[in-house]
Amino acid sequence: MDILSGVRFPIDESDRKPLGRTGEELPAIGIGTYGIRDYRAAEEALTHAVELGMNLVDTAEMYDSGRAEELVGRVARRVGRDNIFIVTKLMPNRFVECSETMRAAQASLRRLGLDAVDLVLIHWPNPSVPIHLQVRCLERLVDAGMARYIGVSNFDADQLAEAIISTKRHEIVADQVKYSPLDRRVENRLLAACMEHGVTLQAYTPLERGAVASNTILIKIAQRYGKTPVQVALNYLISRPGVVAIPKTERVERVEEFRGAMGWRLDKADISLIERLF
Ligand SMILES: NC(=O)c1ccc[n+]([C@@H]2O[C@H](COP(=O)([O-])OP(=O)(O)OC[C@H]3O[C@@H](n4cnc5c(N)ncnc54)[C@H](OP(=O)(O)O)[C@@H]3O)[C@@H](O)[C@H]2O)c1
């Protein structure tokens, strides 16, 4: 606790965030690909995001039955593979047997048109497989050259701790979880656990599917900065150490809006206002 301001976590002023303890950095804001309606528009929006430096793109094998991965592959070919950091997620039922994990990853890579993704996550924990076995299958993907890094998604603090101690060859670099100013449950334990273990927290549904845009308190705060409530919501999240937000849009103008969430920070007083209100 910051005694002077009441802010619960130290404020991170940087718009580049460490990826776990890899020594690599990610932009504080990347783009998600769930629920795309217009794939042509989305390709333009994602390409624009990468060109603006928001080159972290999140997808999953289950998004639109693989169509989202195909889209990300097209974007990667447009911008150049080395200019984009691609995260994909495999379904928990793929982790019953590592051979099935490998098959699913191969199918994802085929859709993406790539030899390897940058980061592969298990989409949520499989309750019927011990966590150490899920981690073993993730590690195999790196051993096989299909992914550069591994991580988890929707793991709580205890599940994350178990995953971390289960690793033998490759570290867990990220936990992708729901986090927005209107849903701050991760601040109870998980955020501190990520900070302690050097794990990047990827905040999904950071805009509450658009609901932050009409929140009267966020609107009021935004007016003081000449910003939008969406920019305030994203800024709140990236003010946290090790937190990267992955809002989704398929519109170029909203990509621009996301960019405007970086390069400045909310005052401590406004951060603590949000902490106290929601
Ligand atoms: N690991 C997991 O289990 C998990 C779960 C959910 C999501 N995710 C990832 O996280 C990403 C983001 O989460 P999300 O898609 O659930 O929700 P979100 O980013 O909170 O919201 C996306 C929605 O908000 C709209 N939106 C974007 N900018 C806006 C603005 N300025 N004003 C009003 N509405 C706006 C978008 O519409 P437009 O496209 O029309 O702009 C879209 O419908 C996903 O795409 C996915 O990659 C992961």
Could you report the per-residue pLDDT of 223-234, keeping only the tens digit for each?
Answer: 999 999 999 999
**Which of 29, 31, 34 gets mutated to test ligand 1 (max ligand atoms within 8 A of its CB)?**
34
Is 30 part of any domain? yes
The residue whose C-alpha atom lies closest to atom 14 belonging to ligand 1 is: 205
Q: Which residue range is the domain that position 166 belongs to? A: 16-208+241-250
Is 9 part of any domain? no
| Active-site residue flag, 225 | no
Residues of the chain whose pLDDT is less than 50?
A: 1-4
Pocket of ligand 1 (CB under 6 A): 32-35, 58, 89, 123, 153-154, 176, 204-210, 213, 230, 246-251, 254, 257
Res 6: pLDDT? 66
Longest Cα–Cα distance of the chain, Å, equals: 54
Q: Give, in order, the Cα–Cα distances in Å from 194 to each of 18, 108, 173, 199.
A: 12, 27, 9, 5
Q: What is the CATH number of the domain that holds 164?
A: 3.20.20.100
Res 229: pLDDT? 98
Is 220 part of any domain? no
Res 3: pLDDT? 47
Is 230 part of any domain? no
The residue whose C-alpha atom lies closest to atom 26 belonging to ligand 1 is: 210
Q: Which atom of ligand 1 is nearest to the CA of 36?
A: 39
Is 184 part of any domain? yes
Is 272 part of any domain? no
Four-CA torsion 81, 69, 230, 11, nearest 10 degrees: -60
- Provide the domain count of the chain: 1
Between helix 39-51 and helix 252-259 the angle, nearest 10°, is 30
DSSP state of 83: G
Is 150 part of any domain? yes
**Which of 190, 209, 257, 258 gets mutated to test ligand 1 (max ligand atoms within 8 A of its CB)?**
209
CA of 118 to the centre of ligand 1 (A): 21
Is 192 part of any domain? yes
Task: Please state, as a whole number, how many other Cβ atoms lie within 10 Å of the Cβ of residue 99.
Answer: 11
CA of 221 to the centre of ligand 1 (A): 22
